[in-house]
A = this chain, B = another copy of it.
Amino acid sequence: MMTEPAKLYQASVIAPVNIAVVKYWGKRDSVLNLPCNSSISVTLSQDDLRTHTTASCSPAYDTKDNLVLNSAQEDITGARTQACLRELRRLRAILEDTNPSLPKLSTLPLRIVSENNFPTAAGLASSASGFAALVSAIAYLYELPSSLTDLSRIARQGSGSACRSLFGGYVAWYKGMDVDGSDSIAVNIKPASHWPTMRALILVVSAAKKNVSSTTGMQTTVATSQLFKYRADEVVPHVMTEMTLAIRDKDFHNFARLTMSESNNFHATCLDTSPPIFYLNDTSRAAIRVVEDINQKAGRLVAAYTFDAGPNAVIYYQESDENLVAGTLKSFLANVEGWEGKGEKIQEKSCDGLSKDAIEILRVGVSRVILTGVGEGPRRTMQSLISVDALATNNM
C-alpha cells in the first residue's frame, strides 16, 4: 500500500538591515529585551543588504527545530530564539484551536535556512535583519493574522533592534512602560516613499573586530555609567521628538545635526562605562573628520555620520548631494571594493580642503564601501532555500 508523501509547509522572506539615527543602548529587562530608551532607524534597501530566510515544517521531519545560517548549523537553543519560536507557536496554536480544520503546524518541528548577502565579518548588524526575517517567515508559514507591530513585539525578544527591521522607511521603536513589554513596539514613522532620496554609504573598516558584545556592553553601561540614566531619561526623549519632526519635514539639516550628535552621545555613554567601551577607533575618527570637512566645504550639512557598536561609519546624505558626498570619498577611496555598479556613475570630486591626515588614515583603514539607501520592509518571496529534497534528508 502506497502512503501519501508527507507534506512540506514553507514560507520565505527577505528582510532588511536598519541603522539607527537615535540609538538603542541599555535594557531595562534583558529577558524581554525592553530598552531604557526609544530609538529611530532608517531601513536600508534590500537590494544591497538583506537576510533571506525560509521557514518550513513537516510531519516528516523527525529532528528537533533546526537553523542553518550561511550554510552553518546555528545554535537554536538560546533563550532569545526560543522566546520567538514559543510565541509564534502559541499564536499558531490559538488559530488551530479556533479552526480545527487547520493542520497542526504548531506541533511540528521547524527547519529554518537563512542567508545574508553581506559578510558577517563586516561588522554589520545582521541580528536585526536575521530575527526580522525569521519571525516574518514563520508568521507567513503559520498564516498568522498578526500585524507588523504585533510581530515587532516578538522580533524584539530575539534582538532588540530587529523589531525596527519589520518596517520599511523611517521607523520608531517606542520603549513602552508595561513590565510585560506589550507596549514596547516598532511603528512606521514614514514609509520609504515619503523621503526616498535618502542615501547611505557605509565605510567598512578593516579588522573591524568587535571587542565587546552589545548585550554585555549595554549591561555594563547601565550598571556603571554616571551619564547613562540622564541620556536615557532626558536627552533621548527630546531627540525623539526633534528627529520625528525632521523626518516628517524632510529637513536634512536637522536630520544630520541630530544623527551626528546622537551617535556621539551614545558613544560618550560607552566611554563613560567602567571599564570604558570604545567602538570608535582612529579610522572612525578620521571618517568623522572628513564628514565635518565635507560639510564645512559645502557650507551646509550635506552628510551625517553615525556609528553602531563598531568602527564602521554609516554616512547618510541626499541623492542630490551624491557627487558632493560619495564623489568626494570616491576621489581617495576609489581603489577599495564597492564602487562597481551603481557607484560607477558617481563623479569624483576634489578633496582639496579636507584634512590630509584623515584622508591618509581612511585610505589605510577602509576595506570597502557599500552604497545603499532607504528601502522597504520585509517581503515574502517564492524563492525557497529549502528544496523538497529536504524531506529525504531530514537528518542533515
A292 contacts the other chain (CB 8 A): yes
CA distance in complex: A260, B226 (Å): 13
Partner of A265, one of B226, B235, B267, B288: B226
> B274–A261 contact, CB under 8 A?
yes
The verdict on A118 contacting chain B, using a C-beta distance below 8 Å, is: no
Separation of A278 and B226 alpha carbons in the complex (Å): 20
Q: What range describes how many residues of A lie at the interface?
A: 20 to 34
A264 and B274 form a contact (CB under 8 A): yes
CA distance A261 to B227 in the complex (A): 11
User: Would you give the shortest CB distance from A21 to chain B, in whole angstroms?
Assistant: 15
For A267, what are the chain B residues with a Cβ–Cβ distance below 8 Å? 271
Instruction: With both chains docked as a complex, state the minimum distance between the C-beta of A133 and any C-beta of chain B, in angstroms.
Output: 34
Selected from B234, B235, B264, B274, the residue in CB contact (under 8 A) with A273 is B264
Given the known interface contacts A227-B230, A235-B226, A282-B281, the answer about A264 and B288 at a Cβ–Cβ threshold of 8 Å is no
Residue A276, interface by CB 8 Å: yes
Q: What string of 1s and 0s marks CB contacts (under 8 Å) between A276-296 and chain B?
A: 101001100100100010000
With A267-B271, A268-B271 known to touch, is A261 a contact of B292 (CB < 8 Å)?
no
User: In terms of DSSP, what is the predominant structure of the interface of chain A?
Assistant: helix
Chain B residues near A230 (CB-CB < 8 A): 227, 230, 234
Contact B271 A264 (CB under 8 A): yes
The complex places the Cα of A281 from the Cα of B283 at a distance, in Å, of 10
Q: Is A96 an interface residue (CB 8 A)?
A: no
The distance in angstroms between the C-alpha atoms of A264 and B260, with both chains bound, is: 20
- Indicate which residue in B227, B269, B276 contacts A288 across the interface (CB closer than 8 Å): B276
Task: Verify A227–B271 contact, CB threshold 8 A.
Answer: no
Residues of B within 8 A of A257 (CB): 274
**Cα distance, A261 to B223, chains bound together (Å):** 13
Q: How far is the CB of A354 from chain B (nearest CB, A)?
A: 14
Interchain CB contact (< 8 A) of A264 among B231, B235, B264, B272: B272
Chain B residues within 8 Å of A272, by CB? 261, 264-265, 268
In the complex, what's the smallest C-beta–C-beta distance from A263 to chain B, in angstroms? 9
CA distance A230 to B226 in the complex (A): 9
A275, CB-defined interface residue at 8 Å: yes
Contacts of A234 in B (CB 8 A): 230
B268 touches A278 (CB 8 A): no
| Chain B nearest CB, measured from A274 CB (Å) | 5
Shortest Cβ gap from A6 to chain B (Å)? 53
How far does the Cβ of A281 sit from chain B's closest Cβ, in whole Å? Answer: 6
With A and B bound together, what is the CA distance between A287 and B264 in angstroms?
22
**Interchain nearest-CB distance for A291 vs B (Å):** 9
Tell me, in angstroms, the Cα distance from A218 to B272 when the chains sit together.
18
Given A275-B288, A275-B292, A292-B275, answer yes or no on A227-B282 (Cβ-Cβ < 8 Å): no
Q: How far is the CA of A285 from the CA of B282 in the complex (A)?
A: 10
Please encode chain A, from 365 to 390, with 1 for each CB lying within 8 Å of some chain B CB and 0 for all others. 00000000000000000000000000
Of A226, A230, A288, A292, chain B has the most CB atoms within 10 Å of the CB of A226
Collect the chain B residues with CB atoms within 8 Å of residue A224's CB. 261
List, in ascending order, chain B residues with CB within 8 A of A273's CB. 264
Contacts of A226 in B (CB 8 A): 231, 235, 261, 265
Q: Which of B235, B260, B268, B281 contacts A268 (CB 8 A)?
A: B268
Known contacts A264-B271, A265-B272, A281-B282; 8 additional CB pairs below 8 A are: A227-B227, A227-B230, A227-B235, A227-B268, A261-B274, A264-B273, A268-B268, A276-B288
Interchain residue pairs with CB less than 8 A apart (10): A226-B235, A226-B265, A227-B227, A227-B265, A261-B272, A264-B273, A264-B276, A268-B269, A276-B288, A281-B285
Task: Sort A-B residue pairs by CB-CB distance and give the 4 closest, nearest first.
Answer: A268-B272, A268-B268, A268-B271, A230-B230
